[in-house]
Structure 1
Amino acid sequence: MTLADTEKKIKSMEIRGAGRIARTAANALKEHSETIKSKDLKVFVEEMNAAAEILLKTRPTAVSLPNAINIVMKGVREAKTYEDAWHAVHESADKFVKESDLAVKKIAEIGAARIKDGDVVLTHCNSEAALACIIEAHRQGKKFEVFATEVRPRNQGHITIKTLSDAGIKTNFIVDSAARFFMKKVSLVIVGSDAVTVNGAVVNKIGTSQIALCAHESRTPFIVAAETYKFAPKTLTGELIEIEERDTSEVLDEKMAKELSNVNIRNPAFDFTPSDYVDLIITEKGAIPPEMAYVIIRDYLGWNIEDFDR
């Protein structure tokens, strides 16, 4: 798959989910390095940087994307020879993809322990990590059922219910606006994340914050499953994560939109859930309260506040 193909598929959401996007970007950089004909270090680095910039612009909210790209590109930018730069891309990309897959498996093990026999679990959107927790609990023989939302306007919930059904898990499919109505039946909410800030706030698919508020009001535990590379280092210095607004045609077809001259259509893809509404964040390094997000950024992503002054 060419770089242009990857760019198009991520933008169009043919490739979706923060983890999948990150792994795809890492592989895309590796594959792009093999198309560069020049063996001059300067040219190679320039072309790789250009490719990285193209990928960075595809989805502005999911920090897994820039984190993955920075991990892969770090060795390229520090290399002293063309050979070192080429090998750095391949080794870093392969290592990132492998560790990303292992992270989901570890999160599944930790998250499954939070699900008990008789539970009713609600999930929103199509999170690989969150679904891994649910499927692993089912694999362990636990008896529970799931409520899954439709996730308008892109209907990622359709993928979620297919995954759960194929796994043999009893699932209830509900419209997004019914989350509050059914929350009284729910014993645990598990969602994924596209980004986690330094104070433990979570950026995830639009509608997540409303579900978190309902869970908080009902005293229902709200758990986030997030790989460490989804934590946002630049929020250490107060940088705000950009919320992507997608094409309005996802909400209303263009013909009808043109007839509504006084209507402004808004289509944010994500929202913020305050840390006050998050009970636990499950990472591959362990389960932490949201207040410990800084520890992940410092100890596992290697960032400190002083790093941003260099």
Structure 2
Amino acid sequence: MNKYIEELTKYLDREPLKRLLMACEDIRTMRVRGAGKIARYAARTLKETCLNVRCNSSTDYINAVKKIARCLVNTRPTAVSLPNSMRFILNRLFEDYKSGIDDVDTLKDLTAKYSDSFIKNSLDAVKTIAELGSRRIKDGDIIMTHCHSTVAVKILQKAWDSGKHIEVFVRETRPRYQGHITAKALASAGIPVTLIVDSAARYFMKDVDLIVIGADTVAVNGAVINKIGTSELALVAKESRVNVMVGAETYKFDPKTVSGELVKIEERDWREVINEEKLKVIGNIKVRNPAFDVTPPQYIDIIVTERGVIPPQAAFLIIQSEFKISLPHIRDPWE
């Protein structure tokens, strides 16, 4: 991060740089959490930071935009929504720049325009997915979910608001307990909620009709990368012949997986699992804390996107359509 700070001091005064670094820290430490919220927060931060760039030429401005985007992208490696928000904005901005627009103020206005456009599209996508996903829920269904996904919550709330009497099992999702956020949101909407420990999924699966979860990333083969424990839940559901529905905006599909690049799984600080005092009591042991896992496509029945409902095997069609994939190597605009 020190390298980025040094590079950015050329383009940003102290206060805008401080706000950018605080935003990066908000994402890295999960003060801002959830793939969609992270993407929108990053887009808003890019906009506000770029409006404060000081430079003498359009070339300098474009270089500054790349460095700011790179600083944001490097905060968390797994959720593709963040880099895809940057791709959405930068690809459009750079097309305008290459077409001959070289006035710095105009480029700043375009950066703001494309950032606002991404945020609006993201919020609209959630509404559409909630509508489409809720149609797949039947009156009387008992549903299980995992972690906290805005999309999954909105699907369940939409089903409830449309008059379907559902009940929801929410796994607490250790070690950060994001399931508590989901439980609160659903209970506030009036939905009957039962909070369970993560390891109780198989015990209650006999009572469950449907699994509804979100996604941090969808790979080209339809595999879903989501909060650790998702793959185990999907496996238990598969064993019990319970369908798994994933809600995912199209900007959560990873274009770089087309060229065979693997999704990097973030491993977070072990202190999220156990504090140092307790660790000393236990003794000399290793503690690991992967934040995500990979659910194979054969454990997923449908993926609900704002473009429609697809089987996981159709993920490539979404990537091809959204990102205009034509080359085996995808070069990021901030490179």
- TM class by shorter chain equals over 0.9
Does residue 125 of structure 1 match 2:147?
Answer: yes
Deviation track 1:34-69 (CA, whole Å, cap 9, x = no partner) reads 211224212212222111111111110000110001
Alpha-carbon distance between aligned partners in 2 of 1:177 and 1:39, rounded to the nearest angstrom: 58
Shift in alpha-carbon separation, 1:139–1:92, aligned structure 2, 3 A: same
* Aligned 1:1-310 pairs, distance under 5 A: 2-78=19-95, 79=97, 80-81=101-102, 82-258=104-280, 260=282, 262-306=284-328, 308=330
Gaps of at least 5 residues in structure 1 are: none
Alpha-carbon distance between aligned partners in 1 of 2:77 and 2:277, rounded to the nearest angstrom: 28
- Kindly provide the amino acid, as one letter, of the partner of residue 196 in structure 1: V
User: SS in structure 2 opposite 1:132?
Assistant: helix
- Kindly provide the amino acid, as one letter, of the partner of residue 207 in structure 1: G
TM-score by length of 1: 0.96
**Deviation (angstroms), 1:200:** 0.3
Shift in alpha-carbon separation, 1:106–1:289, aligned structure 2, 3 A: same
User: SS in structure 2 opposite 1:300?
Assistant: helix
Verify the 8 A CA contact 1:77 1:85 in the aligned structure 2.
no
**Deviation (angstroms), 1:72:** 1.2
Alpha-carbon distance between aligned partners in 1 of 2:328 and 2:265, rounded to the nearest angstrom: 26
- Of the structure 1 ranges 32-41 and 144-153, higher mean CA displacement relative to structure 2 is found in 32-41
Alpha-carbon distance between aligned partners in 2 of 1:9 and 1:212, rounded to the nearest angstrom: 30
Alpha-carbon distance between aligned partners in 1 of 2:296 and 2:327, rounded to the nearest angstrom: 22
Deviation track 1:143-186 (CA, whole Å, cap 9, x = no partner) reads 11000010100000111011001100001100000011111100
Shift in alpha-carbon separation, 1:309–1:195, aligned structure 2, 3 A: closer
**Amino-acid identity (%):** 47
Verify the 8 A CA contact 1:228 1:301 in the aligned structure 2.
no
Gaps of at least 5 residues in structure 2 are: 1-15
* Cα root mean square deviation, aligned: 1.6
Alpha-carbon distance between aligned partners in 2 of 1:185 and 1:210, rounded to the nearest angstrom: 17
Shift in alpha-carbon separation, 1:13–1:309, aligned structure 2, 3 A: closer
Verify the 8 A CA contact 2:215 2:252 in the aligned structure 1.
yes
